[in-house]
Amino acid sequence: MKSRILMGMLFMFFVDFLFAGEIFDFDSGKSNLDLSNYLDVKTPSITKEEPVCQKQLYKINENREIIEVKPSKSYLDEKGNRVNEHYFFPQEKVMWAIRCKNTSGQLWTAKETYGHAYGSGGHYHFDPPAPPLLITNPRTDSTIPSDSSFLSKPSPVNFPQMMPNTTYYYWEKMPEFSTLITEYFEWLGGCSGSQTDYLYVAVPGLIQLSTGTNYTLWGETENHPYNHFGTKKLINTIIEIANEYKSYFPNSKAIYINDMSLPWGGLFDINSDWKTPHTLHRCGNQVDVRKIMIPEENRRKFIEIICKKTGFLLYEFNPPHYHIDINQNEPSYCKPVKIEDKDNYIQCCKGNNIDENVIEQCIR
């Protein structure tokens, strides 16, 4: 009897954690999501019969082919329902194939309840709440849909009636921002069952810039308390720039490192509203340096150091800061703002040298 009570309490705790208000406590702390460090996969129960309820994931490969993707981790919960974990890049499009097998010919439907984990991706805010997911209506055609086919659908998503023993397909577009989404899918009518999918939306491979002697970390906020994540290349470049600058100006203050990327990358919504205008700092390859903390007489040398190491330095007028980008060959999702936008930016480098035509504007 005591064991049953204990099991019941543990199950209720899990349900409360998973679906309370559709907001979950997922404090990622200062460590980044390690996409290669999975826990041991639990062994699913072995059944001789094919499952009655099916939901499978498909992605688009580099050849624009639709291919099935197995979960990164998969197991059965205490009720025998499937639990899967998947990892996606922000704005990635994926396809779900759903099916209900029965011999009675009874129609079936489904409901999907989803929510975002609080704190995941580095977002410690839910006012306003995260926008609804972009999902297409189910259909028997598995071709890649147009962007206009994706509809904003709040949770829960109620599916129409569908025929048994027929595979239906619907597409989902991951958000611009990184997050952990929990999707609870229920078969209703001709089939009965459920499946839980944890969708990790993240830019992999980002690590945190730790404190250093020749630079100061700056810009953390209550809603984005961890804003200094980047690729290893960016972090090494920052340290090299800071050390070289200090070697020229040993009596000057350390440079102030402002925004890089959030722990899982993705849209850095500086207004905490899940939107731009902050279009940069998504993939850990860009960093802002506070201009005001660099004395005017030191700025030419500072710009010279940046141009020599990266060949790319934007001076942004409002608020005034220097924006450094170390890689111009990233996917379109990660690309920086166009340098033709002269109302807000000036490109201070010309190749790996200072652009003498604009240097005075970059310094002032």
Q: What confidence tens digit (pLDDT) does each residue in 153-187 have?
A: 999 999 999 999 999 999 999 999 999 999 999 99
pLDDT beyond 70 at 230? yes
Q: Which two tokens stand for residue 36?
A: 């290669």
Q: What is the pLDDT of residues 88-122, one digit of tens each?
A: 999 999 999 999 988 788 999 999 999 999 999 99
Rounded Cα distance between 322 and 335, Å, is 17
Strands 73-76 and 82-88: antiparallel
Tell me the torsion sign for CA atoms 263, 206, 210, 319: negative
Percent of the chain with pLDDT over 70: 82
Query: Is the CATH code 3.30.1380 the one for domain 207-363?
Result: yes
* pLDDT-derived band at 292, boundaries 50, 70, 90: very high
Neighbouring-strand partners of residue 115: 182
Residue 129: cis peptide before it, omega within 30 degrees of 0:
no
Instruction: Render 113-133 in DSSP notation, one character per residue.
Output: EEEEEETGGG----SSPPPPE
Among 131, 54, 55, smallest CA distance to 95 is for 55
In the chain, domain spans: 21-201, 207-363
Place of tokens 């025929």: 163
What pLDDT sits at residue 328?
Answer: 56
Q: What is the mean pLDDT of residues 136-156?
A: 96
As a whole number of Å, the CA-based R_g of the chain is: 25
pLDDT beyond 60 at 4? no
- The answer for residues whose C-beta is within 8 angstroms of residue 195's C-beta and 6 or more apart is 53, 55, 81, 82, 83, 84, 184, 185
Q: What is the mean pLDDT of residues 227-238?
A: 96
| CB contact at 8 A, 97 and 55 | yes
What pLDDT sits at residue 35?
Answer: 41
What pLDDT sits at residue 287?
Answer: 96
What pLDDT sits at residue 333?
Answer: 76
Q: Is 34 helix (H, G, I), strand (E, B) or coil?
A: coil
Task: Return the top range by mean pLDDT from 4-13, 32-41, 47-56, 198-207.
Answer: 198-207
**Average pLDDT of the residues of the chain:** 85
Q: What is the pLDDT of residues 53-66, one digit of tens each?
A: 999 999 999 899 99
Containing H/E element for 299?
Answer: helix 299-310
What pLDDT sits at residue 336?
Answer: 52
Rounded Cα distance between 147 and 152, Å, is 12
| CB contact at 8 A, 158 and 111 | yes
What pLDDT sits at residue 344?
Answer: 79
Strands 66-68 and 229-230: unpaired
What pLDDT sits at residue 32?
Answer: 43
pLDDT beyond 60 at 300? yes
| CB contact at 8 A, 182 and 115 | yes
| CB contact at 8 A, 264 and 180 | no
